[in-house]
Amino acid sequence: MSIIDNYVKNSNDINSLQVEDACLPMSKSYLKIIGIPYYPYLDDHQTKLTSNNIKNILKQNHIFDNISLASKPRVIKVSLKSDMALVWIDIWDVQSSKNAKMLINRCFNVGNFITTIRSANMNPGVPLCKNCWKCGHATLSCRIQGARCMKCNGPHKSEHYREFGWCCKANDKTNPPRLETKKG
């Protein structure tokens, strides 16, 4: 890397002030931290764990010295009655995932708690059901029978909104009568 860096900076055709240091191609690796308290201060159950708290915790721990975050950490409470959280972090990594492999299954302390780093899937988040259009569950586990419209929440699919949506249908009983909405 230093040979490439010296060549680029000493070249006459390139302005060396506009060139950054040479580095390997980067990709993202996705990790989650489990066993971390949702309320980091045991005596204060009002102060929740935030992404800024996570950044400070990672900066203070030596296993994250050469790790740079690709995005803001995401903190989610494990369940309504739990006082523990799950934290998802995206890190910049080389294509062989060397940094992620170094961190997976490592433990570190957060106060009195021992947390563990696990591998995670890309972009975990709150699932959105494509059947009833509510957050919190996947389409396969939806309890609503039949589909709901994304636009009006009526008992029809979104692609049939124009035919079944109340605002698009003709209504002869209103004064003045409402005409059907034209296609497009």
Q: Kindly list the strands in the beta sheet with 26-37, ordered across the sheet, starting from the edge strand earlier in the chain.
A: 74-77, 84-94, 26-37, 113-119, 107-110
In a domain, 49, yes or no: yes
Do residues 111 and 37 make contact, with C-beta atoms less than 8 angstroms apart?
yes
**Residue 92 belongs to domain with CATH number:** 3.30.70
Cα(57)–Cα(36) distance, integer angstroms: 11
Is the pLDDT assigned to residue 124 strictly greater than 60?
Answer: no
pLDDT of residue 128: 74
**Residue 44 belongs to some domain of the structure:** yes
Q: Looking at the predicted structure, is the pLDDT value of residue 22 above 70?
A: no
- What does the longest C-alpha to C-alpha distance in the chain come to? 82
Rg (CA), the chain: 26
Is 40 among the domain residues?
A: yes
Decide if pLDDT at 181 tops 80: no
CA dihedral sign, ordered 37, 40, 41, 47: negative
**Per the domain annotation, does 39 fall within a domain?**
yes
Residue 144 lies in a domain: no
Query: How many C-beta atoms lie closer than 10 Å to residue 101's C-beta?
Result: 12
Q: Report residue 152's pLDDT band, with 50, 70 and 90 as the boundaries.
A: confident
Determine what percent of the chain is predicted with pLDDT higher than 90: 14
Please, are residues 126 and 116 in contact by the beta-carbon 8 Å criterion? no
pLDDT at 31: 92
Of the pLDDT bands very low, low, confident and very high (cuts 50, 70, 90), residue 118 is very high
Question: pLDDT for 42-72, tens place per residue?
Answer: 565 678 888 898 999 999 999 998 888 888 9
* Cα separation values, 132 from 98, 123, 126, 127, 156, Å: 41, 22, 15, 12, 10
- Give the structural domain span for 28: 2-7+22-119
pLDDT band at 184; cut points 50, 70, 90 = low
> What is the tally of structural domains in the chain?
1
Q: What confidence score (pLDDT) does residue 117 get?
A: 94
| 83: in domain | yes
Question: Would 71 be classed as within a structural domain?
Answer: yes
Interatomic CA distance for residues 124 and 130, integer angstroms: 17
